[in-house]
Amino acid sequence: MTTNNEIEFKQILSESAYNDIKNQYFKETSPFKQTNYYIDTADFKLKDHYSALRIRVKNNTYEMTLKVPAEVGLTEYNFNVTLEPEIDKTIYHDQLPDEIRQILMEDFDVKDGTLLILGALTTYRMETSYQNELLVLDKSEYLGTEDCELEFEVHDYDEGLQKFNDLLKSFHMTHEKPLNKVQRFFNRKANLA
């Protein structure tokens, strides 16, 4: 298991802004593919607590991550698992890593057998170092739509925000905090229902 505090800034991009940033910072970088399978209860107990549970499939490995709000950013609990995700599959407590199961039961009152894999989002991601931080360029496909996003993972909130704003300004953009991927996924799912 790894636990870390994630501090990141995000910006939704138009296709032309995506291409401009790609040409400037990712010209020599090839994208890699990862698919997130999002898990929640039918009544969205995790979403209602601004939390998210997913299984990420990358290079034929499965990583389960629970993200919960922290004082600054999010706390992530990451575990390698063998649970192969399938849409509409029920997840039982005995299939969860102990720490995740404990948080879901105690903090969110998630009952056994109420977690479902509600859908998948596939991202084509590129990563590079930018001013000693991690700059990430994503193109994501889910539920019949596609979006582009810039992420900037930083060590210090204030310093990172300044660097991110300066970067956006160089592309004539102003930072507008978007919904995260899981929120965009669930909003799209609700609109399709």
Report pLDDT for 3: 80
Locate 129 and state its tokens: 């170092």
Cα 193 from Cα 185, distance rounded (Å): 13
Q: Provide mean pLDDT across the span 42-46.
A: 92
Total domain count, the chain: 1
Pick the more confident residue, 6 or 104. 104
| SS3 of the chain: helix, strand, coil, percent, to 5 | 30, 45, 30
The yes-or-no verdict on residue 179 having pLDDT over 80 is: yes
What is the rounded average pLDDT for all residues in the chain? 94
pLDDT band per the 50, 70, 90 thresholds, residue 153? very high
Q: What is the mean pLDDT of residues 151-157?
A: 96
pLDDT at 71 (0 to 100): 87
The boundaries of the domain holding residue 134 are 2-191
- Per DSSP, the three-state class of 151 is strand
Give 189 or 33, the one with higher predicted confidence.
33
Residue 42 has a CB neighbour count (10 Å cut-off) of: 9
Q: Quick one: pLDDT at residue 192?
A: 85
Segment 72-124, tens digit of pLDDT: 888 999 999 999 999 999 999 999 999 999 999 999 999 999 999 999 999 99
First to last CA, the chain: 36
174 — pLDDT class (breaks 50, 70, 90): very high
Kindly report the CATH number assigned to the domain that includes residue 29: 2.40.320.10
Instruction: Say which residues have a Cβ less than 8 Å from residue 14's Cβ, sequence separation at least 6.
Output: 148
Residue indicated by tokens 């407590």 = 93
Helix (H) or strand (E) holding 133: strand 133-142
Residue 189: what pLDDT? 85
